[in-house]
Amino acid sequence: MTWKNHGELFVRYKRNPILTMGDWPYKANSVFNPAAAIVDGKTLLLVRVEDHRGFSHFTVARSNNGIDGWEIDTEPTFTPDPVNYPEEIYGIEDPRITYIDELEKWAVAYTAFSDSGPLPALALTEDFRKFDRVGPALPPDNKDAAIFPARFNGKWALIHRPAPTVHSKKANIWISFSTDMKSWGWHEVLLYAREGGWWDAHKIGLSPQPIRTPEGWLIMYHGVRQTTPKISYRLGLALLDLKDPTKVLRRSEGWVFGPHETYERSGDVNDVVFPCGWVVVNDEIRIYYGGADTSVSLASAKMDDIMRYIRECPEEQCPDEYCRFFEGHKGRPADPKKG
Ligand code: BMA
């Protein structure tokens, strides 16, 4: 076996968790799974807050250094609006933020929890005070969506994760395209969940938003490992082609971050690390993540180390069955729909 074990790549901030319910200016159950961005020189977290009904909304926390001194909005910042958007009846969850240069606005992709299950929705904002909804992007069951900052051949691109139905046991990551951010099509699988004993067998989903690097789009994804007594959410990385994000150039073999500390192993949902945001500050990449669906924590790595690691990862392999079917093709077949 030629596999090289890199172990964990991100180092936890030693005073984690950085935000807990104890810091919150109003009553709620838990604060977790934040989106992250650098806005006006400050680190901005759009934090998922779950209330005592079990429904979630988002509240902004800002910090000058991205570590401490958080200023938290005293009221919920972005709340569900089920009267006008019935798909938000059971709340909004797990936001991912992308700055859209062309619009000079931030796009927030989030999970709207509808009566038929979760679905990806989009909203735009200039200031994280007023949000204009674009509306639901795709029908349920689907979550873990983020939009790319730029168009590809005139089309916006959205990563998302449809959930398995009765016909499949696998939840793969998909990518779709749109000319107006409202109607999404040209759907295809981007990353397959692996099979058998892998840490990312059966169920995967995007974690934070894609980051542009000179060598490709860096994405982080979670793999859900299910064993008889428990589940674990762990994280891996992949690199997508800059010009054609449907092409997976590299993919982690081992996971690069997983639940280990008490605040990750024990909480409302045990054994979960779940980042919805990451930022690059100087030469450092920082992930902001929910620990055990209960609090917000921070871990970081040197960007150079992450790029060195991803370069050493193997090329993406498609699942055996799929490769056998399309024997003679490298990876997936060319998509005739794409312009
Ligand atoms: C996923 C998402 C996350 C959550 C995780 C663990 O399906 O819903 O919001 O953190 O499960 O409970």
Q: How confident is the model at residue 319 (pLDDT cuts 50, 70, 90)?
A: low
pLDDT at 3 over 90: no
Q: Counting atoms of ligand 1 from 1, which one is nearest the CA of 144?
A: 2
pLDDT at 334 over 60: no
339 CA to middle of ligand 1, Å?
35
* CA pseudo-torsion sign 125, 131, 135, 141: positive
Q: pLDDT over 70 for what percent of the chain? A: 93
List, in order of start, the domains of the chain with CATH numbers. Answer: 17-327 (2.115.10.20)
Instruction: Identify any residues that bridge with 61 across adjacent strands, giving them in sequence order.
Output: 45, 72
Shortest-distance Cα residue to atom 9 of ligand 1 = 94
pTM listed for this prediction: 0.95
Q: Counting atoms of ligand 1 from 1, which one is nearest the CA of 268?
A: 12
Mean pLDDT, range 232-259, rounded to an integer: 97
pLDDT at 80 over 60: yes
- Lowest-confidence pick of 3-7, 107-111, 186-190: 3-7
190 CA to middle of ligand 1, Å?
21
User: CA separation (Å) from 215 to 310, 311, 314?
Assistant: 10, 9, 15
pLDDT at 215 over 80: yes
pLDDT at residue 167, rounded to an integer: 83
pLDDT at 337 over 50: no
pLDDT at residue 228, rounded to an integer: 78
| Other CB atoms within 10 Å distance of the CB of residue 59 | 23
Q: How confident is the model at residue 339 (pLDDT cuts 50, 70, 90)?
A: very low
**Contact present, 85 and 110 (Cβ < 8 Å):** no
pLDDT at 247 over 80: yes
Q: pLDDT over 90 for what percent of the chain? A: 87
Reading the block at residue 66, the tokens are 């991205």
* CA pseudo-torsion sign 74, 77, 79, 81: positive
330 CA to middle of ligand 1, Å?
34
**How far is residue 180's CA from residue 112's CA, in Å, rounded to a whole number?**
20
pLDDT at residue 162, rounded to an integer: 97
**How far is residue 173's CA from residue 188's CA, in Å, rounded to a whole number?**
9
Mean pLDDT, range 79-90, rounded to an integer: 98
| Ligand 1: lining residues by beta carbon, under 6 Å | 33, 93-94, 233, 269, 272, 274, 290, 293
Reading the block at residue 56, the tokens are 């979630």
Residue to probe by mutation, ligand 1, list 269, 270, 288, 289, most atoms within 8 Å of CB: 269
Helix (H, G, I), strand (E, B) or coil at 245: coil
Helix (H, G, I), strand (E, B) or coil at 235: strand
- pLDDT (tens digit per residue) in 280-312: 999 999 999 999 999 999 999 999 999 999 999
**Contact present, 234 and 259 (Cβ < 8 Å):** yes
290 CA to middle of ligand 1, Å?
9
CA atoms within 13 A on the CB side of 45: 33
Range list of H helices, 67-183: none
